[in-house]
Every structure is written in C-alpha cells, then in structure tokens.
Structure 1
Amino acid sequence: MDKTPRVSVIIPVYNGEAFIKDAVDSVLNQTFRDFELIVVNDGSEDNTEDVLLPYIRSIRYIKTKNRGVSAARNMGIRLSKGEFVAFLDQDDVFHPRKLEVTVSYLDAHPDMAMVYTPIDRIDSEGTMLQRKRLKGHSGDIFPRLFLKSFIAPSMAVCRKKIFSKIGMFSETLSSEGEDYDLFLRIASRFKVGYVNEPLVIYRLHPGNVSKTKQEVAPFRYEQVLGIHAPHLLSHYRLGWWVYRKRMSKVYREKARVYLKQDRHEDAISALKASLALYPFRMDVLLMMFRLTIPGG
C-alpha cells in the first residue's frame, strides 16, 4: 500500500514544451522528498507529451481535453493525496528548498491556511533579472490583497482541507483573474503566512507578458474585486477607503487600455470614474488634462 505523501505539487501545462522540463526537474530535485507530482496536460497540441515521457514513472500524468488552466488545476486538486497542495506554473521553477521551507512553516504555524514566498525572475533564456523585492504580509491579509494582487500560484502552498470550505479555482473566470479570486477567498476566511525567502523563479517571456493579457487584466480585476467588495466593506472599518483607492487604480488602467485602442471617449469616462473614487492621483489628473485641454 502506497504511503500518502505530505505534499501534492500540481503543474498544469498547455503547449509547454519549451519550459515544462525545467519545471518538472525543479520539483523532482527538492530537498524535501515526501511529495507527489501531478502534471495535468490540458490538451496540449505541441510536443509537451513527448517531453514528459521520460518522467512518466516519477510523476502522476493526466491528459485531458483543453478546458483552461483553472480546470487543469482543479483536476489536480481533486486527484491529490497530500496534506498540502503546492502549485507550479509550467514556465516557473522551484528553488530546491521550496517544499522543505514551506512545509516546515505550516507545521510550525497550524493557524495558517496557506504560506507564500517572494520570487526571483529570469528571462526566456534563463538569465537572472534584477530582483524586485516587495514587502510581504501575513495574518489577516485580505485588505492588503484587495488593494494589490501580490500572490501568484507558484508562490503558494495551501492546506488541502481548505478547498472543501472555500471551493477551488473558478472555471468561469479566465486567465488574469482566477488565481486572484481564489487567494482573496482564502484570505477572507483564513490567516495566511509569509516566508521572506525567494523560493520560486518566475520566468518572463512573451507568452506570459503578452499585450492581450495586459489589456484584459484591468477588466478581469474589476470583475473579481466586485465579487469580494461586499466582504471588504462589511468587515473592515477602513474598507471604503481601500475600495475607493483600489477601484480608482483599476479605472486608470482601463483608461490606458482604451487609449491604446484609440477609444478616447471611453478613456475619459474611465478617468472620470477614477477621480470620482480617489481624486488624489496626480497621474490620472495629468492624463485627463492631456485628453481634455486643447494642446494639453
């Protein structure tokens, strides 16, 4: 009878032949050995399966029809056997001590439902980029997370039992919103931990910084934040301030998208909405001046 692993690592992959080997290797080379690796091939049409073939005895491999990254992650969660669930995107890489450090933290902090860590960044060729270190937060992080999305799936390790209480990734929200929605749901119900050690390498390449993703993001964030605004406004004394500041930024970003699309009237409407919520953004005032004042 197989021993139940403590951690289930889930990698969803779609047309990931370029980077999936690095992701899988980074998990198999962990210092913490009590894990299973579940790779869900979301209907890839490239050579992803051929790249994974040498690993078949070391991973749990599932191939499905293409239904999107949320459905692939959810399939992995349902099949997982571990006490903890870690996510890794197909183009990212774990530091060798990722599982060792995060499992140790969760064992020492039973009140934390999830732990996350900062990242280092590389380009598509594997060259390390300048480190961007943001301040981490722990405990009740919901207002801060509402104000700014700062957790990506590869950064997080969760207790599996929480998914029975808050649900899994939304399959109706497309990319750019499904992970933010999940982490807001977790933060609205549970405490979240932070380990100030970069244990994930995030790969920047044309596929994950595309123009299409950048243009979709503010509209998806508006949708996600609308779902979670009632919790913010009803549970936090300064929730109204957090809401107004955050949504002001979303409308500013929508205006920038409209400007790139030469939709000037829509951009002006978005800027007006931004200033109505939070009139202290000098960049928004400057954008409005340039759009509405002749010669501005």
Structure 2
Amino acid sequence: MKNEKISIIIPVFNGEKYIEKTLKSIELQNYLNLEIIVINDESTDGTLEILKKYEGKIKIINQKNGGASKARNTGFKEVTGKYIIFLDADDWLEEGAIDDAYKILKQTQSEIVLFDKINYLEETKYFEEKRIAKYLPLNIISGLQALKDSLNWEIPAVGIYKIELFEKNNIKFREDLLNGDELTVRELFYAAKRITFTSKKLYYRIHSNAVTKTINSKLFTQLLSFKKLKDIFEEKKVYIEIKDQWESISFGAYTAFLKIYLKNKEKFTDKEKNKIENNLQYCLDNIDLEYLIKYEKKIIKKIAIIICFYNKKLYKKIVRLF
C-alpha cells in the first residue's frame, strides 16, 4: 500500500541558527510522501534566505508576526495530508523516525504516535534523555491516560497526529495564550481513542536562560491556561481523579510566575503591571487552597499554601525573598 501523505508544519521566527538542521533532518527521512510547510513569522534575520534555498522542496508562507500558535493555524489551513506533525524550528528528528511512527500508527490503528523526546541543553551541549520505556513496546494507551500523563508532561507531545482529530473536534491552537500548544495537545490527547509510541527520537533544543530572555507581559498569559484546562477536565468528568495533582501543579505555577513578576516588576509599564497582576489573581482565584491544605503531601509546600491562604501579602513578601 502506498504511504499516505504526512504534512509537517514548522513555524519559524528568527531561526537562522537552527532551521537548516531541522530541514536537513527531514530530508534524511526515508518516508518520502511528505508535505513540508514553513511559516515565516516575519523574521528579521537571515531565516527567509535559508528557506529560499529549499524552494521546490518546501512551501514557504510569510505572515506578519503573530506568534507560533497563529503560525501553526496558518499552516494547518494549507495542509493536504492525512496526518500531521508539528515541529519547532530548532527541533530535529532521528533518521527513520517518521517511517517508523507511520508503520506503528497503521499496525496499531492509532490516531497518534508520539516520538521519544530527548532534550538537548544548548548551554552545556548535554543530551537529557526523557525515556518512554514504560510505553514500549507498542503499549497502546487511551486519550484519558495520555491526558493524565500530560499533567507533569511525563509523556512526550510531538508525533504524528491524524488530521481528523482536529477537524472532528474543532480543535485549533489558542493564539491568545503563550503556551497555547500545551492546551491544544491535551485536547487532542483526550479526543483520541488510541495513542502509542515509537522509540525513534525527536531532539528538543532547550536554550540557556530561555525564560529570562523572553520576560514580557505575554509570558503571564500562560496563567490563564490553568483555568481553561481545569474547565476541560471538568467537562470530560475526569477532574475529580486528578484534583490533588492538578491543584498542586497550579499552585506551583502561580508561585513561579509570581516570583518572576516580583523580581522583574520594574521592567513593566503600569498598564502591563495591571494586566499581569490580574492574570496572577485570576490564576490564584481558581486554585482551591483550602482543599490543598488538607491534601498536599509535601510539607514545605503545604506550609506555603497555608501562608498564602491566610495572608497573601505575607506570602508575596516571602516569595520575593527567595
């Protein structure tokens, strides 16, 4: 049987240092029926010149700068494949990864096949393995199980997705959130009945000081996704099963973003401060602190929750110090 077309979407903004490695890793794949769509998000470096070297092999779409989620949605409108892979402009794939994933997809009749993920730490040149041994070989899991495993991202997110999942469930990337892809992937997980894995690797580049280099007001829109995810969990009637873990994760995220804000407060305008503080408050308002006081197992975190519950001003002062 002829291999079905797989579309690959790559958003890129100022990716001249990395995009060629990504494209070459796709060129080296032995799966030939590929459609490669690169969305240039108004890059100001040499990205476009590099992409033009691949004209005829890739489709280039230029758009005004709107972020990765908007670029993915733009690319999705152009796909003609039956399956889709979303890559970042600095990811790269092991040789044979796509062919292996496709074979597993057909063999298991899955809707998603996820690549093993290896973090590449840019600063130290260290490869950090995030092994998926518990899912191999050919361990098929439900969408619900994948959703649960995504709470702390024990499960990888990049792989081959059946396009039907997007179309039948009206799923798009959230353009109003910096981490809109995390919300979208979890919606796709839950929509799928069968998800499995390949041991072939996706290499995910982690840049040094990635957070500190991108501190702006949009960073804090990630706080809004916690309530949106909670709504999804409640809608799917799985929230009770994961409440302990999710409330604890949400509180940890609130504290982390609060610390970033307090340490960098002087960088923001008054308008930005107001917006960020509203986002922080919105996140906190949707965390059940009273519940966490009863069920949080980590002692230090439990103490932090108690302080936050009874005296939020004191908690902010403590967070600023550490």
Which band: TM-score by shorter chain?
0.7 to 0.9
Structure 1 residue 279, shift from structure 2 partner: 2.9
Counterpart in the other structure of 1:275: 292
Q: CA deviation at 1:118?
A: 1.9
**Distance (Å, rounded) in 2 between the aligned partners of 1:21 and 1:274:** 49
Residue 148, structure 1, aligned to residue 152, structure 2: yes
Question: In structure 2, what is the equivalent of residue 56 of structure 1?
Answer: 55
C-alpha distance in 2 between matches for 1:64 and 1:79: 13
Query: 2:272 is matched with which residue?
Result: none
Q: Note closer, same or farther for the CA distance 1:277–1:192 as it changes in structure 2 (3 Å cut).
A: farther
Q: Which amino acid is 1:75 matched to?
A: T
The aligned residue for residue 113 of structure 1 is: 111
The one-letter amino acid of 1:256's match is A
Q: CA deviation at 1:260?
A: 4.7
Q: 1:12 touches 1:40 (CA, 8 Å); kept in 2?
A: yes
Deviation per residue, 1:193-212 (Å, 9 max, x gap): 22251420011114744463
| Residue aligning to 1:18 | 17
Could you tell me which residue of structure 1 aligns to residue 242 of structure 2? Answer: 242
Over residues 231-269 of structure 1, what are the superposed CA-to-partner deviations in whole Å (9 max), with x where a residue is unaligned? Answer: 34x2x4xx4140232122211221233245449xx8999
Query: Is the partner of 1:16 in helix, strand or coil?
Result: coil
Contact 1:248 1:274 in 2 (8 A): no
Q: Residue 161 of structure 2 aligns to which amino acid in structure 1?
A: C
The answer on whether the counterparts of 2:293 and 2:305 sit within 8 Å (CA) in structure 1 is no
Indicate if the aligned counterparts of 1:229 and 1:243 stay in contact, CA closer than 8 A: no
Judged with a 3 Å threshold, the aligned counterparts in structure 2 of structure 1 residues 124 and 253 are, in CA distance, closer, same or farther, namely same
* Paired letter, 1:27: I
Q: What TM-score comes out, normalization by structure 1 length?
A: 0.81
Q: Which residue of 2 aligns with 1:201?
A: 203
Of residues 159-168 and 281-290 in structure 1, the stretch that sits farther from structure 2 once superposed is 281-290
AA aligned to 1:97 is: G
Pairing 1:256–2:256 present? yes
Structure 2: unaligned runs, 5 residues or longer: 264-280, 308-313
1:161 partner letter? E
Is 1:218–1:251's contact at 8 Å kept on the other side of the alignment?
no
Corresponding residue number in structure 2 for 1:35:
34
**Cα distance, 1:171 vs. partner?**
3.5
Structure 1 counterpart of 2:231: 227
CA contact (8 A) 1:251 1:271 kept: no
User: Residue type of the partner of 1:282?
Assistant: I
Question: 2-side partners of 1:184 and 1:245: how far apart?
Answer: 16
Cα distance between partner residues in 1 of 2:227 and 2:13? 25
Q: Give, as a single letter, the amino acid of the residue that structure 2 aligns with 1:169.
A: K
> 1:240 aligns to what SS in structure 2?
helix
User: For residues 260 and 42 of structure 2, what CA distance do their matches in structure 1 show?
Assistant: 33
AA matched with 1:224: K
Task: Give the match for residue 76 of structure 2.
Answer: 77
Q: Is the 8 A contact 1:222 1:247 kept in 2?
A: no
Post-superposition Cα deviations, 1:127-179, rounded to whole Å, max 9, x if no partner, equal 342323254474223241463335565x2211112221122433443222x12
Superposed CA deviations along residues 41-85 of structure 1, whole A, max 9, x for unmatched, are: 111122110111211121111111122211211222221111111
Over 3 Å counting, the alpha-carbon distance change for 1:179 and 1:94 in structure 2 is: same
SS in 1 for 2:30: coil
1:281 aligned partner, one-letter code: K
Query: Equivalent residue of 2:119, what SS?
Result: strand
CA spacing shift, 1:289–1:231, aligned 2, 3 Å? closer
> How far apart, in 1, do the equivalents of 2:150 and 2:130 lie?
21
Are the equivalent residues in 1 in contact too, given 2:293–2:306 (CA < 8 A)?
A: no
CA distance in structure 1 between the aligned counterparts of 2:176 and 2:140, rounded to whole angstroms:
26
Instruction: Return the letter of the residue paired with 1:212.
Output: I
Q: Which residue of 1 aligns with 2:183?
A: 181
SS class of match (2:161)? strand
Provide the rounded CA distance (Å) in 1 between the counterparts of 2:69 and 2:27.
Answer: 23
Offset at residue 5 of structure 1 (A): 5.7
Q: TM-score, normalised by structure 2?
A: 0.75
> Which of 162, 166, 174 is the matching residue for 1:163?
166
Write the mapping of 1:65-104 to structure 2, written as runs, cut at 5 A.
65-104=64-103
Which piece of structure 1 moves more, 274-283 or 38-47? 274-283
How far residue 9 of structure 1 moved from its aligned partner, in angstroms, is 0.9
Distance 1:122 1:279, change over 3 A: closer
CA distance in 2, matches of 1:29, 1:262: 46
SS at match of 1:148: coil
Work out the CA distance in 1 between the residues paired with 2:161 and 2:36.
15
Quote the Cα distance in structure 2 between the aligned partners of 1:147 and 1:182.
Answer: 13
Which stretch of the first structure deviates more once superposed, 210-219 or 33-42? 210-219
